[in-house]
Amino acid sequence: MFSKNYLVVVPGVILAFILYSLSQGFNNIIGIELLGYSKSPISTAMISILLGIFFGNFFKIRDSFQIGLDFTREYILKLGIICLGIQLKPFEFLDFGKIAIPLILICIISVLVVIKLLIKKLKIQTRMAYLISIGSTVCGTTAIMATAPVIKANKNEVSYAIANITLFGIVSMFLYPYFANFYFDGNSLFAGLFLGTAIHETSQVAAAGLIYDQQFNSPETLNIATVTKLIRNTFLIIMIPLFAFLYNRGRAGDKNYSILKIFPYFVLGFVGMIIIRNIGDQIFSNNINNNWIEVVDLIKAISKIFLTMAMAAIGLSTNLKDIKGMGYKPFVVGFIAMITVGIVSIITIEIYLKLFI
């Protein structure tokens, strides 16, 4: 019985993997061959969900595939998020975190307050607002996909939120490196902090840092932006349970509500992977152990593959007509969120960091 249930998910999982492979191929062609970068500045995840939406709306997806696509969205997604923890090395971030964490906290709180006011004014769905909020403040698409199961967001809400974050993330990815260099007068620390807090996706932050480095010869900015973003990503551990609590609190028929019922336990796996990374680094700190480095790189690669497969599955299950029916208001919220986090980042850097650094 178990084997039979297991096998029914295989076609959908394979389909998601095929779309991942196509996305990676298109990404290399566009980013490396056409644009000339050594590493593509375009998110494979973005291409994956766009391909999924295209095929899902122009071709009918058979029911035999849908079971595996559902499995990919729910379980392979969570495995990808758990594996994502291997890239974080918080023990090395402590000194820098004293500077970055207050800035990140101020940006997160500011955006959440602004969006809370906007959803009352524009009257958009609570789940959509939560997805856009966490996508704008923490780590873009990954945060949206990690939050969606715990607030019971449907696939169209997830796709809309991802499209929202992707659009404004790409805009900021191309504009902010030039703006940061102009505004901060070439200060690599301030520019890196700004890019790491004001751009949504990890891949977009890396791309913006790469653009800055190549245009203004500042590898320090790339490093600072990347580390800031990785610290920002760790706030998933706090934000997902918080959003789960806020969304489920006081809902009808949930009189026996408990945080334990909706706590996203895969976050514990995420934390566990961070601990494994740090234990491994400590054990092999005296010698460069190629085997450990290879294991870390392999888990990083698996994480990206799993997350991109999950995005392809979401795209394949998305109905554009349903998204169109949601209207323009969530995009207004996304645009304002992008502007808010950018402005708050600048103000905080100007006032707080220039006083104490």
Q: Which residue has the higher pLDDT, 169 or 251?
A: 169
Alpha carbon distance 138, 72 (integer Å):
23
Radius of gyration in angstroms for the set of CA atoms belonging to the chain, rounded to a whole number: 20
Average pLDDT in the chain: 80
CB hemisphere CA count around 340 (13 angstroms): 24
pLDDT confidence of 40, banded at 50, 70, 90? low
Number of domains in the chain: 1
Average pLDDT over residues 310-331: 77
| pLDDT at position 346 | 92
70 neighbors 10 (Cβ within 8 angstroms) = no
Question: What percent of the chain has pLDDT above 70?
Answer: 84
pLDDT at 64 over 60: yes
pLDDT > 80? residue 36: no
192, 157 in Cβ contact below 8 A?
no
CA distance 66 to 59: 13
Mean pLDDT, residues 81-89 taken together:
77
Expressed as residue numbers, the domain containing 256 is 2-356
What does the pLDDT look like over 142-165, one tens digit per residue? Answer: 788 778 888 888 878 888 888 888
Give the number of other CB atoms < 10 A from CB of residue 95: 7
Residue 100 has pLDDT above 90, yes or no: no
pLDDT of 259 > 70? The answer is no
pLDDT at 252 over 80: no
Average pLDDT over residues 115-140: 83
Rounded Cα distance, 205 and 165, in Å: 13
Query: Predicted confidence band at 197 (pLDDT cuts at 50, 70, 90)?
Result: very high
What's the pLDDT tens digit per position in 260-316?
A: 655 667 778 877 888 888 888 887 766 656 788 888 889 988 988 888 888 888 888
Tell whether the model's pLDDT for residue 191 goes beyond 90. Answer: yes
Q: How confident is the model at residue 14 (pLDDT cuts 50, 70, 90)?
A: very high
Q: Which is higher by pLDDT, 284 or 55?
A: 55
Confidence of residue 176 (pLDDT cuts 50, 70, 90): very high
pLDDT at 1 over 50: no
Sign of the CA dihedral running 280, 285, 291, 292: positive
Model confidence pTM above 0.75: no
